[in-house]
Structure 1
Amino acid sequence: MISALNRLVDLVEEHLTEEFDVNGLAAALGTTEYHLRRMFSSLAGMPLSEYVRRRRMTVAAADVVRGEDDLLSIAVRHGYGSTEAFGRAFRAVHGAGPGDVRRDGGPLRAQPQLRFRLTVEGSTPMDTRIVDRPAFRLVGHAARVPLIHQGVNPHIQQHITALPQEEHLRLKALGDTEPAGLLQVCDDLDPDGTEGSELTYLHGVAVCRDTPAPDGLDAIEVPAGMWAVFRTAGPYPQALQETWAATATEWFPSNPWRLRPGPAIVAVLERADDFSTASCELWLPVEPT
C-alpha cells in the first residue's frame, strides 16, 4: 500500500495541469480507487482532491511571482477556464489573490510533495477478527449529517437524543443477528473522507435479510461479504476514533485486506452511565487484496 500511495503522488505530479485516471492506476496496482482514496486521506490528513489543488496552486504561484505571463495564460496552463475560477482556487490555498501576490511577492503557502514511508509502529496489538457474514439489513432512524473526525459529532448526538427512551428499547428488541445491540452506522461515506462532507447516519440494529422493517423505520440493505471487526475500550469517543485511525496507519498496510464500499458499523458492548468510557466493536467491510 505504501508503494501504491507513492505511485499515486508521482501520478499527481505528472498530471498537475490535467485530470488523471485514479481508477486505472488503482487497478494496475492491484487495488481499488475506493481503498486508495480512503487510505490516502487517512494517512495524508487531507482528501486527494485537496492535495491536488494545493500542489497545483503551489506550482502556479511560481508562475505568478515570475510575472512572465498574464494571469489568464497561467490559469489556462493550470487547468482553469477563467481568471475568476483560478483566482478563487489560488486565494483558497494562499490566502491572497494572484494579483496581490504578483505585486507583493506573497503571502504564499506551499504544499510540499508528499512521500509516504513505512515507520515501525504497532507496539500495541490490535484486537481484530475477520467475519464472513451473509446478507443482512440495518433498520432504524437515519439522518444526513456532516462528517466530523474528532470529538462528539453534535449532529449525531442531537439525532439520537431526539428519540424517546422507549424507541431505543423497541429498536434493541428488533435486533436478531450480528452485529448485536444498538448500532451506530455510517453509510455513503465520501471515499476521500472530507471533513464536513455528508454521510448517512443510522441509529438502529441489524436484522436478518428477510426480517421486514417496521413502519416508520429506515433500512439499509447490506450484501454478503467479509468484515474486519476491531475491538476497542477506553474514553469515548476518543479510543474508538484512535482505533479507527489506526486501521489505516497500522492494520491495512500490514494485512492482506482492503476496504470495500459499505457501511461502517459501531456496536457499543459496554459503557459507563455517562458514556465517558465504552467498549466497542468497529465493523469495517473488507475484501482480500
Structure 2
Amino acid sequence: MNYIECIQKSLDYIEENLDQEITVENLAEISLCSKFHFHRLFKAMVGIGVMEYVRKRRLTIAAQKLHYTCESIINIAMDVGYNSHTAFTRAFKGLYDLSPIEYRNKEVSIDHFEHVDVSHRKLINNKVGCIFGPRIFRKSSFSVVGMKITCSFDENKDTRAVPNLWYNFLERRKEIAGLVGEIGFGVSFDSCLGKFFNYIASFEVRDIKSIPEGMEYYTVPSSLYASFLFKFNSDLGRFYEALDYVYGVWLPQSKYKLSNQMDLIEAVDFTQYLKEDNSFEIWIPLQDD
C-alpha cells in the first residue's frame, strides 16, 4: 500500500465513524501507516491537520442536518461525536460564528467542508523555493551537541520557538569543544503524532566528553537520506509549505519509504547562511531499498 492509499484509508474511516471517538493513534493504525510520520503525511496531502479535518467534517454534517431535518440539536450533536449540547454549540459557533439554533432559524449560507479524496487528486509539482533536489545519499552515524526544546507544532508557529532556539544557541556555539565543520544540524525526533516534537539545534562534534551546561548530545543514526536544498527567507509559513511539497508531492510519487529512526534534519552551512545566502537543506530519512 502506497502513502496515498494509506491516507485515503484513514479519510474513508473518518467518514464512516464520525459518530465515534476518533484518535490520531487509531487512524495511523487503521491506515497501516507509520505512526511516526502519519500526521505530517496527512497534513501534506489533505491540507490541514488530522483532528481539524475531523472537526470540520463533523460540523459540516451537523450543519446539513440542522438545515434539512427537524432532529433535535442534542441528537445531531450525538450523531457527529459530541457528548454534550455545550461542547457541540461551542465547536459549531467557533467554526461558523453562529450557534446551532441561530443557524437553524436563519436562512444563511455557510461554506461546507467536503469529504476529501486524495486517491484521485492531481499532485501539483510546486517546489516552493526548492532549487535542488532530491539528492539521495547515505551518511554514517554521527554525534551532535546543542540545545534542545520540546514544543507543539502550533507553539512553534506562534512563538517561533525553533528560530529563537537557534538565535540563543549560536551565541554559545564557541563553548562546544571538538566542533566538526560549520554545518549546523536541526534534528527533529520523537514527534508525537502531530502533538509535539523534540528539536535540537546543534553542530557535529568529534566526541561527547565535554558538554557545556544547558546543552546535550544526540547521536544521529546511520541512514539513507533524500536531501532538498531550499532558498527563502525566515518565514515559517514558507518552511511548512516546503515540507508539504516533500511529503505531499515528492514522496508519494517516489519509490521510497520513510524511516522511523527520526523525523527530519535541517542542515545549514553557516559559512554561507550568515552571508545572507538564506539556503539550507532538509534531509528526510529513508528506509533502505
* Selected match of 1:211 from 208, 211, 214: 208
Matched, 1:119 2:116: no
Percentage of pairs with the same residue: 19
Q: Which runs of 5+ in 2 are unaligned?
A: none
Which of 136, 143, 162 matches 2:149?
143
Q: Verify the 8 A CA contact 2:89 2:99 in the aligned structure 1.
A: yes
User: What is the deviation of 1:58?
Assistant: 0.5
CA distance in 2, matches of 1:38, 1:218: 28
CA displacement, residues 139-188 of structure 1 (integer Å, 9 cap, x when unaligned): 212234553699997433333334574x22233x53459xx622223344
Question: Are positions 1:284 and 2:288 aligned together?
Answer: no
Distance 1:211 1:160 in 2: 20
What SS does the corresponding residue of 2:36 show, helix, strand or coil? helix
Number of aligned positions between the proteins: 275
**Partner SS state of residue 91, structure 2:** helix
Query: Hey, what's the Cα distance between the residues in 2 that align with 1:148 and 1:274?
Result: 30
Contact 2:233 2:278 in 1 (8 A): yes
Distance 1:153 1:245, change over 3 A: farther
Report the AA paired with residue 23 of structure 1. Answer: A
Alignment of 1:128 with 2:128, yes or no, is no
Q: CA deviation at 1:263?
A: 4.3
Instruction: Please give the TM-score of this superposition, normalised by the length of structure 1.
Output: 0.78
Quote the residue 2:183 is aligned against: 181
- How much does 1:245 deviate? 3.0
Q: Name the counterpart of 1:271.
A: 272
C-alpha displacement of 1:107: 5.2
User: Retained in 1: the 8 A contact 2:175–2:212?
Assistant: no
Q: Which runs of 5+ in 1 are unaligned?
A: none
Cα shift at 1:80: 1.6
Q: Following TM superposition, by how much is the alpha carbon of 1:55 offset from its aligned partner in structure 2, in angstroms? A: 0.5
Q: How does 1:235-246 map to 2 (within 5 A)?
A: 235-237=232-234, 243-246=242-245
Larger displacement relative to structure 2 (71-80 or 199-208): 199-208
Alignment of 1:144-183 (within 5 A): 144-145=150-151, 147=153, 154-163=160-169, 165=171, 167-171=172-176, 173-176=177-180, 181-183=183-185
TM-score (norm 2): 0.78
Residue of structure 1 in register with 2:30 after alignment: 25
Residues 253 and 186 (structure 1 numbering): CA distance in 2 closer, same or farther, change over 3 Å? same
